Amino acid sequence: MEYRRLGKTGWQVSTISMGCWGIGGQWGPVAEAEAIRTIHAALDQGVNLFDTADAYGSGVSEELVGKALRERRDDVYIATKVGNFGRRQGAALDYTSPLHVELCCDASLGRMKIDAIDLYQCHIGDLQDPTIFLEAFERLVEQGKIRAYGISTNSLAAAQAFNRDGRCAAIQLNYSLLNQGAAVDLLPWCAANDIGTLIRGPIAQGVLAGKFTPDTHFDDIVRVGWNEGTGREAYLSRLGQIEQIRFLARPERTLAQAALQWVLANPAVTCAIPGAKDVAQMTGNAAAADGALTADELERLATISAGW
């Protein structure tokens, strides 16, 4: 496993870390025992950062993260998010006061049974005015309930607003071979401002694993929209792009691992946080840190993706 400094926090975090949305059940059912085994497998592979959110399974993911890491709390960094609780159930909170954010923080601490959250992130990517969240986060730092904070967004304007006092520690952003927009402005800005980056969607919600076909049917609530309409059109287009990059797969390297290595080739990236629902997925993801794409492969990918 490779480790990189998470911006101004100074923390050394594993370049392949674990996104814990999948174990919350919204990508399909995951048994509690398997979720805990998956997190323990990540630890065995050197993973030391785990990213979750209060919205993932309406708290289920946080509960499992806390249970699995209870005996290893001092060895890991726990990141969670606030701002989307209840949204997928049609009962989103309004967050009109810092007290709402602080109450959600207390709830997350209670679910995970920990004393402090290492990285607390605003989960509203198009946030117009960060004042309520920043006021709450600063108070939570003073109270010792969180150590650092950031925002999950692909908007440079939102990121800049969140860093108005220079204390934003990390940005979580969507970036992959199939979604390269952040490399234009957001990632360079993060690097210039010593802000760590957590890359979500590095395997494009599973598409970059290269295992889906036009006949694949999605039952989970996250990807169900890929089955018809414009969602299906976009999905089929992505499958066409996958066919152009299958040369990356080798007996010793899966396409998903190559996709992760492409993300890590950007020096502005601190870590990728692919999801995993079982031990095999987690072990495969972690192994990506042990290799790298060649200069020729990166050049060929740049040429191909320029045509997309």
User: In angstroms, how far is CA 36 from the centroid of its own chain?
Assistant: 18
Asked if residue 94 has pLDDT above 90, the reply is no
For residue 183, name the pLDDT band (cuts at 50, 70, 90): very high
Q: Supply the pLDDT for residue 92.
A: 78
Catalytic residues: 56
Residue 206 placed within a domain: yes
Tell me, yes or no, whether 217 lies in a domain.
no
pLDDT in tens, 229-285: 999 999 999 999 999 999 999 999 999 999 999 999 999 999 999 999 999 999 999
Q: Can you give the pTM of this predicted structure?
A: 0.95
pLDDT (tens digit, 9 = 90+) per residue, 125-180?
999 899 999 999 999 999 999 999 999 999 999 999 999 999 999 999 999 999 99
User: Residue 43's pLDDT is what?
Assistant: 98
Residue 87 lies in a domain: yes
Question: What total of structural domains would you count in the chain?
Answer: 1
Per-residue pLDDT band at 78 (split at 50, 70, 90): very high
Domain assignment present for 246: no
For residue 308, is it within any domain? Answer: no
Mean of pLDDT over the chain = 95
Q: Which residue has the higher pLDDT, 76 or 26?
A: 76
CA–CA dist 112, 110 (Å, integer):
5
Of 5-19, 89-103, 268-282, the poorest mean pLDDT is in 89-103
Residue 92 placed within a domain: yes
Question: Do the domain assignments include residue 70?
Answer: yes
pLDDT at 87: 78
Domain residues for the domain of 28 are: 3-210+254-293
Q: Is 90's pLDDT higher than 80?
A: no
Which CATH number fits the domain that encloses residue 131?
A: 3.20.20.100
Residue with tokens 């290492």: 118
Question: 10 Å Cβ neighbour count for 153?
Answer: 24
Q: How confident is the model at residue 84 (pLDDT cuts 50, 70, 90)?
A: confident
166 domain-assigned: yes
